[in-house]
């Protein structure tokens, strides 16, 4: 009896790992006859698992979708992965699922073997509650995912970087996550081109539009398109600056995504920096903690002058606070 129960659990686990199984393949994996596999499938059906069967030479078995979710059979590493995922979701970039994540984690912990529960407890991390500024509502994500799957046009109000709002209509294709932010890749109907949209700036409108025929995705796929858009946002302007320090000193401070370096004369180096604006680049330059000379563009010199004036004012305030006699 114990051997039969163990085999049923193994069979259920195999059915969960892929969509279709040939009866002969299951028999080989379980080291039983195809007839025994058929009997075991019948037993699983008797206790409520919906298993579809296709007769014939090319037939096989498939675990169907039931009214209730069957128990998941996970190994130790899979169980820990799910547990940590639920812990992260409780304070992550999706709003509205924190409580559900904690409830699911509690249920999972109750059925964990003690050896796994001890590993989870040993690696428990306290989380500082600080919702991401770009967190999106779970219901919004669900709505967008649904229209992507159903190939239905989506209308939404969109708030751009400068605060301007406009109505957009797209053929939605895919959700993409980059760090703590979520993006939608879609074909903009009015502009007749591919666009990516930050989901936290979207307000979807219901009902959705008509169904559409899918287009071929941009080269590289949805994630590559969104990544290119993100990089272009952070590299709207470029500047060349000579730093009065060696390239070996500066190189560890420079990420290849936002700057390139070349050696210069007399122990100096030249950096080409990308940024979203010249004022932001002017502020970044202080991080190198060395003298520098602005080479290009000339407008950056004006921004550096403004930064210097601001720091001079701050410096004078601090010095005045030391010179002042307490009353």
Q: How many CA atoms lie within 13 A of 71 on its CB side?
A: 15
Q: 74: burial class by Cβ within 10 Å (0-12, 13-18, 19+)? A: middle
The domain ranges of the chain are: 2-63, 76-122, 136-222, 237-318
Strands 259-263 and 292-296: unpaired
pLDDT tens, the chain, 327 aa long: 556 677 887 887 788 777 788 888 888 889 999 889 989 888 888 877 788 888 766 668 888 765 455 555 667 777 777 776 776 665 566 666 666 777 777 767 766 777 777 776 666 655 555 555 567 888 888 889 889 999 999 999 999 877 789 999 999 999 988 777 889 999 999 999 999 999 999 999 988 889 999 999 998 888 888 888 877 766 778 899 999 999 989 988 887 667 788 888 888 999 988 887 899 899 989 989 999 999 999 999 999 999 999 999 999 999 998 887 776
Query: Does domain 2-63 bear CATH number 3.40.50.300?
Result: no
The residue with tokens 């109907």 is: 189
CATH topology of domain 237-318: Alpha-Beta Plaits (3.30.70)
DSSP 224-251: HHHHHHHHHHTTSEEEEEEESS-HHHHG
The pTM score is 0.54
CA distance 34 to 22: 10
3-state DSSP helix/strand/coil % of the chain, to nearest 5: 45, 25, 30
Count the Cβ atoms, other than its own, within 10 Å of residue 238.
16
């Amino acid at each position: 009896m114990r051997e039969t129960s163990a085999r049923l659990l193994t069979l259920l686990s195999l059915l969960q790992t892929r969509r279709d199984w040939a009866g002969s393949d299951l028999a080989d994996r379980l080291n039983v006859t195809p007839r025994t596999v058929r009997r075991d499938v019948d037993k699983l059906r008797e206790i409520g698992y919906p298993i579809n069967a296709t007769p014939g030479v090319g037939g096989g078995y498939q675990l169907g979708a039931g009214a209730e979710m069957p128990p998941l059979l996970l190994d130790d590493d899979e169980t820990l992965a799910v547990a940590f995922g639920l812990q992260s979701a409780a304070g992550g970039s999706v709003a509205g699922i924190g409580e559900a994540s904690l409830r699911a984690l509690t249920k999972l912990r109750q059925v964990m073997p003690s050896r796994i529960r001890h590993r989870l407890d040993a690696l428990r991390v306290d989380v500082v509650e600080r919702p991401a500024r770009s967190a999106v509502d779970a219901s919004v994500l669900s709505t967008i995912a649904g229209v992507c799957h159903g190939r239905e046009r989506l209308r939404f109000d969109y708030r751009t970087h400068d605060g301007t709002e406009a109505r957009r209509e797209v053929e939605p294709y895919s959700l993409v996550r980059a760090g703590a932010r979520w993006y939608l890749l879609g074909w903009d109907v009015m502009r007749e081109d591919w666009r990516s949209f930050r989901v936290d700036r979207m307000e979807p409108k219901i009902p959705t539009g008509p169904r559409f025929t899918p287009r071929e995705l941009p080269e590289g796929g949805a994630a590559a398109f969104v990544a290119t858009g993100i990089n272009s946002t952070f590299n709207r302007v470029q500047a060349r600056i000579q730093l009065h320090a060696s390239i070996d000193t500066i190189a560890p401070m420079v990420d290849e995504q936002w700057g390139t370096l070349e050696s210069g004369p007399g122990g100096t180096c030249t950096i080409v920096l990308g940024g979203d604006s010249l004022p932001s680049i002017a502020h970044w330059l202080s991080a190198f903690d060395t003298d520098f000379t602005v080479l290009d563009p000339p407008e950056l010199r004006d921004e550096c002058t403004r930064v210097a004036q601001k720091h001079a004012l701050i410096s004078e305030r601090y010095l005045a606070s030391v010179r002042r006699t307490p009353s």
